[in-house]
Amino acid sequence: MHPKQIENNHHKEFQIERLILFSDAVFAIAITLLVIEIRVPEIATSADTTQDLIHALLDKIPEFFGFILSFAVIGQFWTNHHRLFGLVKDYNGKLIWLNLLMLFWIVLVPFTSGLNSRYGNLNIVWQIYSANLALIALSLYFLYRYIGNPKNGLSDFAHDNVDRKYSFLRSSIVIWIFTLGGILASFDGIFFFWAARGIYFAIPILISIVNRRHQKAKTRQSHK
């Protein structure tokens, strides 16, 4: 290999690594900001301080649930991002901007999560939160489509039709579930209130089914 080509390859690897490290830092900051939203309760000093503290902590339960949910969601998005960029062999300006678009929606999660923790009984708040997550999923889908396009020459992943098909399918499922959660929240009634939130649990179930089919498809592909 020509020395100039080796130098160019090292430069590409360095720039891709910078892109990944920057993204990891944004994900880490977003997750950290989630817990900062949970304020330490303030109680008046009295003879029954312990009991007051327990009541104050119990009042924080919705905020802790909101933190756990958003932590899990951001963690899963980071896992997908990490897996996808582990396949990237080259980069260009459009890839950088598509990645920034996804990170833009990621850094909004602490705000929408905090909003949901405090005013989770309002359907409009769940719609905002669901829209935020759907836009992250949509941005990640655009990244998959762009990196998975053979014409862009960014990854060998683009030439594996089975991997591309199931990666796009997984991304599409997440987009539609978050979108449906927001749509269900637009209806009144206790059924729609809980359906809008409970539908999120369909994501790991559907993804698990897709993963099994993906594995079977890869097995059939290897036997051809």
- pTM to 2 decimals? 0.88
Q: Which two tokens stand for residue 82?
A: 């990490």
Predicted confidence pLDDT, tens digits, the chain (224 residues): 555 555 556 668 888 999 999 999 999 999 999 998 888 887 776 656 788 888 888 888 888 888 999 999 999 999 999 999 988 989 899 999 999 999 999 999 999 999 998 898 899 999 999 999 999 999 999 999 999 888 988 888 777 788 888 888 999 999 999 999 999 999 999 999 999 999 999 999 999 999 999 888 888 877 76
Rounded-to-integer distance, Cα 24 and Cα 82, Å: 8
Q: Which domain holds residue 116?
A: 3-222
Identify the pLDDT of residue 81. 95
Report the pLDDT value the prediction gives residue 2, as an integer from 0 to 100: 52
166 touches 217 (CB < 8 A) = yes
pLDDT of residue 4: 54
In total, how many domains does the chain have? 1
Counting other chains too, the contacts that 189-195 makes at CB distance below 8 Å and 24 or more residues apart are 193/123
User: In the numeric block, which tokens belong to residue 62?
Assistant: 């919705």
Question: Residue 121 burial by CB count (10 A; 0-12/13-18/19+): exposed, middle or buried?
Answer: exposed
Q: Give 3-state DSSP helix, strand, coil % of the chain, rounded to 5.
A: 80, 0, 15
pLDDT for the residue 70: 94
- Taking only Cα atoms into account, the Rg of the chain, rounded to an integer number of angstroms, comes to 21
The pLDDT of residue 213 is: 92
First to last CA, the chain: 33
The alpha carbon of residue 130 and the mean position of all alpha carbons in its chain are separated, in whole angstroms, by: 12
Assigned token pair, 172: 């599409």
The predicted pLDDT at position 5 comes to 53
